Amino acid sequence: MLLEKPHKRLSGADIARATRMLSGTLYPILLRLEKAGWLESEWEDLDPSEAGRPRKRLYRLTGTGYKKTSKAFADLAMPEGRLSWAR
């Protein structure tokens, strides 16, 4: 998902739906990947009172994250973005 469109910013909820991970599992992983420099995140530019909902935190791969993720999939001999447990 993030590898297919590395410049696209995705919310944690989008990533959770795609991976079927629970938030208690997903958000610590996203935080670790961000601290490692593989992801970057920012709050969406939105006025919550006008939108009628809270702002979303948006994530995207960094150049380093793209390279390291691509290499990890290659090392595992798996097609990019296709994890057997995330169907």
pLDDT, tens only, 28-74:
999 999 999 999 999 999 999 999 999 999 999 999 999 999 898 88
Helix, strand, coil abundance in the chain, percent, nearest 5: 45, 15, 45
Rg (CA), the chain: 14
Q: Domains (ranges, CATH) in the chain? A: 10-75 (1.10.10.10)
Q: What is the pTM of this model?
A: 0.78
Asked if the model's pLDDT at residue 87 lies above 50, the reply is no
- Check residue 87 and report its DSSP letter: -
Chain mean position to CA 44: 15
Side chain identity at residue 65, one-letter code: G
Can you give the pLDDT at residue 78?
58
How far apart are the C-alpha atoms of 46 and 20, rounded to whole Å?
26
Which pLDDT score is estimated for 76?
A: 84
pLDDT of residue 49: 93
pLDDT for position 5: 79
Q: How many CB atoms lie within 10 A of CB 2?
A: 22
